[in-house]
Structure 1
Amino acid sequence: METPNYLPKYLFVYGTLRQNPPGQIHPFLQSCSRYIGPATLPGRLYAIADYPGAVIPAVLDQSIIHGELYQLSEHQTDLLAILDEYEECTANFPLPHEYQRCQVTVELKPTQPTLAWIYLYNLPVDGLTIITGGDYQQFLTKHSSKP
């Protein structure tokens, strides 16, 4: 995770904030940002409950998280405050928070690193299922077709 001296103008989403299938808050995200395209991030994706959690382990392997990159509007502070509430990482929720908003570098294309906000899973992952392939949408498709 990087700590630049400016705020990212982008948001990387990998789970219920993605456009397909659209989660309950995606229409709001879409109204306050501009979809840039698919992006990736080195890390692991875990199945938490009916949503995923992204983790960037201390020792990176070849695991990749697939998601979408959005350019935030000039009202990014308002959007991020609402998303912080949605992700339950504000003072209104007990510590430790399940998610933490962080700044990371994602790959928009193999040669185009972009600094973006992300909500990283902030609790232990022991006993959680790794989402093989790092794509929550594929995971949902695969698991919804099981009898």
Structure 2
Amino acid sequence: MNEYLFVYGTLLGGAPDPEVNRVVRSHCRDAGAASVAGRLYRFDWYPGLVPDREDPPRRVSGRLLRIQAPERCWPVLDAYEGYRPGAPDKSEFVRRRIVARREPEGEALEAWVYVYNGATGAGRPIVSWPSPGRCG
């Protein structure tokens, strides 16, 4: 079974951490454009996704990555995103499963995503992050 990660921000390419970029290039494969129900907020210099429960929901565009080596990817990506699996309440982001829709055909699939875990009042709503071009 394939394991996917939906990326929408700095993981689209050019993360400021060289180890993160190496892991994405080495152990993840671009699986195409997608979107998820949510809103983006700017926190300092990076975006954070908050799931949207409106009907119809707003959509955030990004890319799907197929994770080829989860045991090598998750520790590095979790640390970069400030996610502590053993202490999610103390994490800036949490990794959750979400329904992503491939673009443009709309096929739904389950993917992991890093969701902002704090108060949205600390950020500013943003319409979109830089273009979700090819990863890596």
TM, length-normalised to structure 1: 0.76
What is the rounded CA distance, in whole Å, between the counterparts of 1:9 and 1:94 in structure 2?
21
Greater strand content:
2
Q: Which runs of 4+ in 1 moved over 3 A?
A: 57-62, 91-95
Query: 1:106 aligned to 2:100?
Result: yes
Whole-Å separation in 1 of the counterparts to 2:27 and 2:87: 24
**Does structure 2 retain, via aligned residues, the 8 Å contact 1:54–1:119?**
yes
**More displaced 10-residue stretch of structure 1: 98-107 or 83-92:** 83-92
Gaps of 5+ in 2: 132-136
Q: How many angstroms apart in 2 are the aligned matches of 1:78 and 1:90?
A: 16
Task: Give the one of 17, 41, 50 matched to 1:46.
Answer: 41
Letter in 1 for 2:102: L
Alignment correspondent of 1:30: 25
Identity of aligned pairs, percent?
28
- 1:114–1:94 CA distance, 2 compared to 1 (3 A): closer
How far residue 85 of structure 1 moved from its aligned partner, in angstroms, is 0.8
Count of aligned pairs = 127
Asked if 1 retains the 8 angstrom alpha-carbon contact of 2:2 and 2:66, the reply is no
Partner of residue 130 from structure 2, selected from 130, 137, 140: 137
Partner of 2:84: 90
User: Contact between 1:43 and 1:60, CA under 8 Å: does it hold in 2?
Assistant: no
* Structure having the higher Rg: 1
Deviation sequence 1:67-94 (CA, Å, 0-9, x none): 1101110x21220111111111126989
Higher relative contact order (CA 8 A, sep 6+): 2
- Structure 1 residues not aligned, in runs of 5+: 1-6, 139-147
Could you say which residue in structure 2 is the equivalent of 1:122?
117
TM-score, normalisation: structure 2:
0.82
